[in-house]
Structure 1
């Protein structure tokens, strides 16, 4: 598959221009559904899972979709590889479940903490005009504001800044959540996807965990692992 990097960069810059950064803060209770989004890959097939938590009924449901993945893996351009499958499931659930409900999406990946401020959480939020937050396991762009963040055991979170010293994410040690690791990582990077501000994004992430004791993207991740194991087991049987 031929890929025009310059065209992709241009599209990302257009996405970044369309981001809505809210000044006001939304409480957790504002949202009717909290959704965790994660993907896994098996050869040329992708599987996406939405862990959908109903804030009124306090119950979780899992939905997944699978399809062939044609776009190659290129760091910094993961949205072009993963978003078609994510949107395929989103469109189904938007009609069947979400409708006009207030939904917050936690997406495995970056939002504005991206070289062109257009990570997958931002792509998704802008294209679907919805609230989104990026939860990444690795730093893609920028640097930790506190230079001794990793060495200082007392320091449990710090801002991530870009080359202009703008705050683009919050790095949080999983120890802050009383966990040794989360999805095999000791640090998570929380960034704005769309329709929120950084402070509010961080607070929503932390408050949700403190209240319900789980991370939506991790729930989606764990469900995907079960699907993969089942598929591998079925292959052995046949």
Structure 2
């Protein structure tokens, strides 16, 4: 296969990203976001895709909705999907977003009263090569506030796993402490957050849509029982359990 089709695909996706980027809102838009204790927030969503080991095409697309602040399960949707778009670094959203949107649409049609007021995404938002990651794309296309939470540092725009970065992590004393992820341009693209007192390894929080960075960080911390915020942790656990149940011969 020649490189030309991939180059054409990249140009098309870059154009689409730029178009969607114009619709991105990086500020708080909901009343509950402005309350110190998030009063008015009742439902938080989490999404994730889990793949059968050795298979990068067939996956379980998972949506969960939990109560806030109790983190009790209100709704779950597990659906096997076949990804059709190729994997190209920086364009993960074009592979995964359609199936996550379908899950949200099924919820909207079947149980609209349980639609989440904010969605946590296992991935990055503004903290991205072109400042438009999976959490941004899902947010803009769904119209819902979204928060990107990544477990690993994306080394992008001048942010690296440097000695300085490691020393900043070491300086995080307790759950809720954070430091900014500042691009070479000087723009803050996200924050590294120590999500709990027990976990010294941070998560990387960035704006998806319709929420400010500071609010996203506070909300992420408030949803953490362990290192990863509960909506994402539950989506991950339940999608993996679905694969174990339905594909027992595969080592997921």
TM-score, structure 1 normalization: 0.84
- Work out the CA distance in 2 between the residues paired with 1:106 and 1:198: 13
- Work out the CA distance in 2 between the residues paired with 1:135 and 1:58: 17
- Work out the CA distance in 2 between the residues paired with 1:15 and 1:147: 35
Secondary structure class of the residue paired with 1:76: coil
Query: Which of these residues, 96, 110, 129, is aligned with residue 96 of structure 1?
Result: 110
Deviation at residue 38 of structure 1 after TM alignment: 0.7
What are structure 1's unaligned runs of at least 5 residues? 181-185
Equivalent pair of 1:66/1:85 in contact (CA under 8 Å): no
The match for 2:242 is: 227
The match for 2:187 is: 166
The match for 2:171 is: 154
1:179 aligns with 2:193: no
Are the structure 2 counterparts of residues 214 and 91 from structure 1 closer, same or farther at C-alpha, using a change threshold of 3 Å? Answer: same
Number of residues paired by the alignment? 229
Are the structure 2 counterparts of residues 144 and 53 from structure 1 closer, same or farther at C-alpha, using a change threshold of 3 Å? Answer: same
1:26 aligns with 2:34: yes
Equivalent pair of 1:16/1:116 in contact (CA under 8 Å): no
The match for 1:191 is: 206
Equivalent pair of 2:65/2:116 in contact (CA under 8 Å): no
1:111 aligns with 2:145: no
What are structure 2's unaligned runs of at least 5 residues? none
The match for 2:231 is: 216
Equivalent pair of 1:145/1:158 in contact (CA under 8 Å): no
- Work out the CA distance in 2 between the residues paired with 1:8 and 1:100: 32
- Work out the CA distance in 2 between the residues paired with 1:160 and 1:22: 18
RMSD of aligned residue pairs (Cα, Å): 2.9
> Superposed, which structure 2 residues align to 1:7-46 within 5 Å?
7-22=12-27, 25-27=33-35, 28-42=38-52, 43=55, 44-46=57-59
Higher share in strand: 1
Deviation at residue 57 of structure 1 after TM alignment: 8.1
- Work out the CA distance in 2 between the residues paired with 1:37 and 1:118: 17
Deviation at residue 88 of structure 1 after TM alignment: 1.3
Equivalent pair of 2:223/2:231 in contact (CA under 8 Å): no
